[in-house]
Structure 1
Amino acid sequence: MVTRGWTRRQFFTRAATAGAVAIGGPVLLSACGDGDNGESRGRGGNTLERAREQGLVRVGIANEPPYTEVTASGEVTGVEPDVLRAVLKKLGIDEIEGIVTPYDQMIPGLQANRWDVVAAGLFMKQSRCAEVLYSEPTIVSTESFAVLAGNPEEITTVASVKENSGVKVAALGGAFEEGVLQDADVPEDQIVPVQDGRSGIEAVKAGRADAFFLPTLSLNDLLEGDDEMEVTDPVEDAPVTGAGHAFRKNDTEFHEEYNAALAEMKESDEYADILAEWGFNASDVEGVTTEELCATEG
């Protein structure tokens, strides 16, 4: 399937070269350059006030459709940026500028003022919730394994990985799935860190890993039209996963106003329509709270 000019596969190949992308603007350098401590950009002070004055929020994102996506024209999209953009408009902020960064650098970069918010499908868990202010949940998701067709190693659960010491599982370094494996005491020599979705798929095809652990929808996108591999049913022993948008601990005003605007949007068709466009169901989020998701170990 072609998506906004690129196939999903082409997107992962090309987006790996991208750094920061502003809507309607040029591709910038990745994540954080030498000597960039945030202060050089004039950050600090009241983030919400500054964002309203500038009409812009800088956002930490990933390269993982349907959560985040960068189009051929440079537009930052995906379910998380699209929800973020809609909520920010209610706060009088019209534009976002996305900075592509690894998951394990999203919170450090936020704390270092390299971006103002993270909207990347950064799933909540205890360690992350201790470091940032999460909005109320924007999405709830399931996890699956990508395996060779026929699932020769019969990998269906985290427990099935632990039971077979010869099995290796690829996971994005610093991502929620790597943490799930570690928290389940899966030995480190059974975990294969990878940098992005395409690398995870290639690791399985090349025999460096027997499975790739990632959200179900992300794997479905990655393997669209690929007959060599398949996606398992949702992993039963993976914890409930869900994401919100992450703010710095001292950005309490921004966080509070954002949550109020998000709650208002959730009452409209706009929220459900955005989630449906990317394959999510708004009803899955109903009743799920930040407090509940932040109780997830890890």
Structure 2
Amino acid sequence: MIANISRRNVLQGAGVAALGAVFAVVATGCATVTPAGEAVDGGSDLLALAKKQGYLRVGIANEPPYTQVNSDGTVTGCEPDVLKAVCKRLGIDDVQGIITPYESMIPGLQANRWDAVAAGLFMKQSRCAEVLYSEPVIVSTESFGVPIGNPKNILAVADVLADSSLRIAVLPGGFEEGILNTAKVPAAQQVKVNDGRSGIEALAADRADAFFLPTLSLRALAETDKSFETTEQVPDAPRTGSGAAFRTTDTAFHKAYNTELAAFKKTPEFKEILDTWGFDAAAVEGVTADELCKTEG
């Protein structure tokens, strides 16, 4: 089972829209997955419990290359693949993925619907105040997806602030929404979309002038959709990165995870995973969660 996140918590063969619909059912059922008397809560030993029951429940997204739902319902992607490898080193043989929107990831974690988040949930001050992040697995940049030729010349957040007519698509609860809010881009200029595909559709339908998303996410979308182009790195967007996120009470698990993650980063397998998904393992070297958690938002 370690080769793929468990299929028990995702709908086999379903598309992204169906996966979103099934999330409510999966999340509701999570409270009863663990036997009575052994529920994961703030006072439990998550590491001991996960070893005993043989699995860890993880909140994920469907945003390649960070996370990806395959046609058969299995989940892969850079962050889940790293998390599976580290969990195996901890003696946890199965990782069960639960699809959820970004704005629900931390609330669901705090409500014990899952035990961790591994979904490209970028570190920033507000999130770091609510969860314990592992050390970074990836460091990422931001770009705009724009119509071919970038007719409105949108290259920076400053361009959005300078023209109140511009409409920028963002994922609710996403890091990019936080960047716009921190820059005081009015809500009227923000077009909320459900996922990557919805953002590109908003561009095509002229409901948005640009789609703000991580550079690699936009490039992954562009592999199957040639209706838009991806700008260079947005110069006034902060450098960011992500790792697994845990409840603030799961300090023992967090410490053990970081220890094994540090060891795993020294293996060829870590670089292989990042290379597979288009990330640069060297970009993570020397970058700490403490540094990334200083990002405003």
> 1:228 Cα deviation (Å)?
2.1
Q: Percent identity?
A: 59
1:33 aligns with 2:14: no
- Residue 70 of structure 2 is matched in structure 1 by 71
Residue 155 of structure 2 contacts residue 232 of structure 2 at CA under 8 Å; is this kept in 1? yes
Give secondary structure in 2 for the equivalent of 1:137: coil
Q: How many residues align?
A: 282
- CA 1:125–1:58 in structure 2 vs 1: closer, same or farther (change >3 Å)? same
Give the 5 Å matches for 1:91-130. 91-130=90-129
- Which residues of structure 1 form unaligned runs of 5+? 1-10, 21-26
- CA 1:146–1:31 in structure 2 vs 1: closer, same or farther (change >3 Å)? farther
- Residue 19 of structure 2 is matched in structure 1 by 18
2-structure distance, mates of 1:161, 1:40: 51
Instruction: Give the structure-2-normalised TM-score.
Output: 0.90
Amino acid in the other structure paired with 1:147: V
> 1:242 Cα deviation (Å)?
0.2
Return structure 1 stretches of 4+ with deviation > 4 angstroms: 27-31, 34-41
- Residue 272 of structure 1 is matched in structure 2 by 271
2-structure distance, mates of 1:54, 1:235: 44
> 1:35 Cα deviation (Å)?
10
Amino acid in the other structure paired with 1:32: A
CA deviation map 1:140-196 (0-9, x unaligned): 011000000000010000001111111000000010000000100111100111111
- Residue 197 of structure 1 is matched in structure 2 by 196
- CA 1:92–1:34 in structure 2 vs 1: closer, same or farther (change >3 Å)? closer
- Residue 7 of structure 2 is matched in structure 1 by none
- Residue 7 of structure 1 is matched in structure 2 by none
- CA 1:128–1:93 in structure 2 vs 1: closer, same or farther (change >3 Å)? same
- Residue 48 of structure 1 is matched in structure 2 by 47
Residue 76 of structure 1 contacts residue 97 of structure 1 at CA under 8 Å; is this kept in 2? no
Instruction: Give the structure-1-normalised TM-score.
Output: 0.90
1-structure distance, mates of 2:107, 2:23: 19
Residue 170 of structure 2 contacts residue 212 of structure 2 at CA under 8 Å; is this kept in 1? yes
> 1:106 Cα deviation (Å)?
0.3
Amino acid in the other structure paired with 2:16: A
> 1:288 Cα deviation (Å)?
0.5
Give the 5 Å matches for 1:1-298. 14-18=15-19, 29-30=24-25, 32-33=27-28, 36=31, 42-44=39-41, 45-298=44-297
Amino acid in the other structure paired with 2:18: T
2-structure distance, mates of 1:199, 1:19: 13
Residue 125 of structure 2 contacts residue 296 of structure 2 at CA under 8 Å; is this kept in 1? yes
- CA 1:216–1:207 in structure 2 vs 1: closer, same or farther (change >3 Å)? same
